[in-house]
Amino acid sequence: MRKKIVAANWKMNMTQAESARFVESMLLDLGDITDVEVVIVPPFTAIAKVMEALGKAQNIKVGGQNMYWEKNGPFTGEISAALLRDLFVHYVVLGHSERRTLFGETDEIVNRKVRAAHEATLRPIVCIGETLQQRDRGNVDKILSIQLRGSLAGLTPKELQETVIAYEPVWAIGTGRNATPAQAQEAHAFIRHTLHQMADETTAERVRIQYGGSVKPENAGELMSQPDIDGALVGGASLDPRSFVQIVKAARDR
């Protein structure tokens, strides 16, 4: 059984004060949750505050939104896996579509980061997904296969099992238009099939695949009851503790 994983990607939002208020409110409901893995992914500037507000709630994990692959050195403005680990961060989101389209990240760049994250025992959440044009042209499988094989090249089966994949169709991000549960399930099943080809069946069965793109309390339950959907990567709806808590509870009830 794969444990569901629900992550809050706050993107470029949330001051320290807002972050602390969010965590305090969330802990009232999720303070002792253990049957769903909950991950908060704040901007770098709020990570320490989130850690402080979490206090002893070690059941809730924290993630970074990006990192650079080098260990240290003259890379002004960048942050390494080791610096994230220094803040007790467990996860890092890599290859988000906003990074790919706005900041020119290719599968090769994402792959370097993924490998550097594993080297530092930081667990990557690797985002992949097609644009609307690619979907309309019938190229979903092709694009997902290229992104998966490129971003995850060279990983051992163990590293693959410690990687989370986030399927985020670009046309569903921040648009209010989520993939239907059937569309998402089809993509997730294809991703698992590709992981089987890349590694082996046990590995493919163990990798958790999140869905992301306009996840809300109203659609979270049906999405996460699909057999290959193992959680959610939530953007907009994760900025409000009440809606985020509802999404986590929807994961628990599946």
Catalytic residue at 168? yes
In whole angstroms, how close is the CB of 218 to ligand 13P at the nearest point? Answer: 13
236 binds ligand 13P (CB under 6 A): yes
Catalytic residue at 222? no
Radius of gyration of the chain (CA): 17
The three-point CA angle 67-5-145 to 5° equals 65
Q: Which of 81, 75, 125 is nearest to 99 (CA)?
A: 125
66 binds ligand 13P (CB under 6 A): no
Burial class (CB in 10 A: 0-12, 13-18, 19+), 33: buried
213 binds ligand 13P (CB under 6 A): yes
Binds ligand 13P by CB under 6 A, chosen from 215, 220, 248, 251: 215
In whole angstroms, how close is the CB of 177 to ligand 13P at the nearest point? Answer: 9
CA-CA distance, 91 to 164, in Å (whole number)? 9
65 binds ligand 13P (CB under 6 A): no
235 binds ligand 13P (CB under 6 A): yes
DSSP string, 213-229: SS--HHHHHHHHTSTT-
173 binds ligand 13P (CB under 6 A): yes
Q: Cβ contacts of residue 56 below 8 Å, gap of 6+?
A: none
In whole angstroms, how close is the CB of 148 to ligand 13P at the nearest point? Answer: 17
Of the candidate spans 14-22, 72-80, 109-117, 207-215, the one that interacts with ligand 13P by CB under 6 A turns out to be: 207-215
Nearer to ligand 13P, 168 or 230 (CB): 168
Number of residues that bind ligand 13P (CB under 6 A): 14
Q: Which of 85, 81, 82, 83 is nearest to 94 (CA)?
A: 81
CA-CA distance, 123 to 90, in Å (whole number)? 6
Per CB under 6 A, which of residues 81..100 are in contact with ligand 13P?
Answer: 96
The residues annotated as belonging to the active site are 96, 168
Site for ligand 13P, rule CB under 6 A: 9, 96, 168, 173-174, 212-215, 233-237
